[in-house]
Amino acid sequence: MKKGIFITFEGIEGSGKTTQAKLLAERLKEQGLDVIKTFEPGDTQAGKKIREILLSPSINMNPLTELLLYFSDRVQHVEEKIKPAINQGIIVICDRFTDSTIAYQGYGRGLSVELIEEFNNILLGNFKPDLTILLDLPAEIGLSRNQRINKRDRFEMEDIDFHNKVRDGYLQIAKSDPERFFIVDATEDASEISQKIFDIVQTKINTK
Ligand code: TMP
């Protein structure tokens, strides 16, 4: 059986990933394709509990503890949901994946990017998305969008410097892997963005 495709959405807070992932899944389903939409952290039974710990504003956490929890969630997610779906020929659309860990725990918190890549190798056998959509926008705009809807988890409470580092981190990761990344200007109109993403995904599907 033909393998499915693994597509991830990445970006800082308020970049519109969740909306765009949903729109893409809907459009692909309209075409009769088999699609599942998933997210990190927290889209398994174990992951839900891990997410609660990770995002609780009242829990004090060492950056390495945080890193290990994101990988715990990811190992469970990949083994329980993502790989089985891909092996059945399904298109998997995931809201955040390892690039989030490199951007937030690596560039944001200052942990070694090499260490994170090494963990990825050891724990996931260097399992990577086929295509990653990076929704890029200035941190000020993203954060102000989220404040309007009153979203305040442990990361949203970080200062603007942290979010600027995460944004720059994402741009560097994308630069180092241009074959996999598609960068979209997330300040554009949502329907224009959705069309651009749909076009690039169709090309990916047709060339796979
Ligand atoms: P969400 O708001 O997209 O649901 O993601 C929850 C938060 O977790 C978000 O602020 C980014 C953060 N995060 C990391 O710091 N590292 C990771 O590996 C992932 C997947 C998310």
Sequential DSSP letters for 54-75: HH-TT----HHHHHHHHHHHHH
Distance 40 CA to ligand 1 centre (A): 7
- pTM as predicted: 0.96
DSSP state of 90: -
Q: Tell me the average pLDDT of the chain.
A: 94
Atom of ligand 1 minimally distant from the CA of 153: 10
- Of the pLDDT bands very low, low, confident and very high (cuts 50, 70, 90), residue 147 is confident
Task: Determine the pLDDT at residue 128.
Answer: 95
Angular region, 122: left φ>0, alpha ψ -120 to 50, beta rest: alpha
Measured from the CA of 17, which atom of ligand 1 is nearest?
A: 3
Closest atom of ligand 1 to 151 CA is 2
pLDDT digits (tens, 9 = 90+) for 60-84: 999 999 999 999 999 999 999 999 9
pLDDT bracket for residue 151 (50, 70, 90):
low
Establish whether residue 71 lines the binding site of ligand 1, counting it when its CB lies within 6 angstroms of any ligand atom.
no
